[in-house]
């Protein structure tokens, strides 16, 4: 008799592992300004599988940032359904949404959003202070230090943001996003403030994280940055107009080698 529940539990876990991490059905987000109604996202249905690396593109006002805000549990849809890792998001209160974000999601922004008066290590520790149950201070410090090591900044842990380059600050932001081992990484224009070489380095980090099994959803308006992703979604006027697999994906390691070679030739010329 005891063997039956064990088999059922295994089956449920297997189904959950194969389910999409994001499922949207007819999702709509409407804003009202006075008597004006604006549908920022209109009837979007979408699935994102575990381990995918997706770029969401579109012009300003296309709805891509609003869609990411909804998928990041920063905003609630007006209608339609949203399942995050199999859990229905609609109807959750602010506290429940905050816990879901802290447990399931990691965020990376164009402007880094680092605390200026705190060290790199303290910036990375921040998400763990909101974890439930609370994490012991010693473990918090160890996990933050390891996260910085993972992005190549272990020797910069005591530096403040104004002592670091833009690329280094974005690496700190990535470490902070990963420190709670999220199911999904959300990146909003992560290379928007970076030069070409640093952008390639950041995309290299993303590709390594994705190869390790982390699902990544990235908003960008740069086609050359989207080319590093496995899948490219295009939005216009709040609607999803294109969703393709990227069969000719750029590899950051190759792009960096090509850039090094071009710079070396320029020096010799």
* Upstream peptide bond of 133 is cis (omega within 30 degrees of 0): yes
Number of neighbouring beta carbons within 10 Å of residue 198? 17
Over residues 185-236, the pLDDT tens digits come to 999 999 998 999 999 999 999 999 999 999 999 999 999 999 999 999 999 9
| CA 166 and chain centroid, separation | 18
Q: Reply yes or no on whether the pLDDT at 46 is more than 80.
A: yes
Instruction: Check if the beta carbon of residue 189 is closer than 8 Å to that of residue 110.
Output: yes
> Domains, the chain, ranges and CATH?
51-77+91-268 (3.40.50.300)
Task: Tell me the two tokens of residue 112.
Answer: 């880094």
Supply the pLDDT for residue 13.
Answer: 38
pLDDT band with cut points at 50, 70 and 90 for residue 17: low
Query: Residue 35 carries which DSSP code?
Result: T
pLDDT band with cut points at 50, 70 and 90 for residue 114: very high
Q: How far is CA 77 from CA 102, 117, 198, 219, 268, in A?
A: 20, 36, 35, 18, 56
Query: Residue 251 carries which DSSP code?
Result: -
Q: Distance from first CA to last CA of the chain, Å, rounded?
A: 79
- Report which of residues 48 and 36 the model is more confident about: 48
């Amino acid at each position: 008799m005891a063997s039956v529940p064990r088999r059922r539990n295994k089956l449920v876990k297997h189904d959950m592992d194969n389910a999409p991490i994001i499922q949207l059905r007819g999702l709509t987000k409407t804003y009202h300004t006075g008597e004006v109604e604006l549908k920022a996202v209109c009837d979007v249905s979408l699935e994102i599988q575990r381990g995918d690396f997706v770029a969401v593109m579109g012009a300003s006002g296309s709805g891509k940032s609003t869609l990411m805000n909804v998928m990041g549990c920063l905003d609630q849809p007006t209608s339609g359904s949203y399942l995050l890792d199999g859990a229905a998001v609609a109807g959750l209160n602010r506290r429940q949404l905050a816990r879901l974000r802290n447990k399931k999601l990691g965020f990376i922004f164009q402007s880094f959003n680092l605390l200026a008066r705190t060290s790199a290590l303290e910036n990375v520790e921040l998400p763990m202070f909101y974890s439930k149950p609370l994490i012991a201070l010693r473990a918090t410090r160890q996990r933050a230090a390891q996260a910085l090591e993972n992005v190549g900044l272990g020797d910069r842990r005591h530096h403040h943001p104004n002592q670091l380059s833009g690329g280094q600050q974005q690496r700190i932001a990535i470490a902070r996003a990963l420190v709670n081992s999220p199911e999904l990484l959300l990146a909003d224009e992560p290379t928007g403030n970076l030069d070409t070489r640093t952008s390639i380095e950041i995309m290299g980090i993303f590709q390594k994280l994705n190869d390790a099994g982390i699902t990544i959803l990235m908003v960008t308006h740069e086609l050359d940055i989207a080319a590093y992703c496995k899948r490219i979604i295009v939005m216009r006027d709040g609607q999803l107009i294109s969703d393709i697999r990227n069969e000719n994906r750029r590899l950051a390691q190759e792009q960096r080698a090509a850039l090094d070679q071009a710079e070396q030739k320029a020096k010799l010329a």
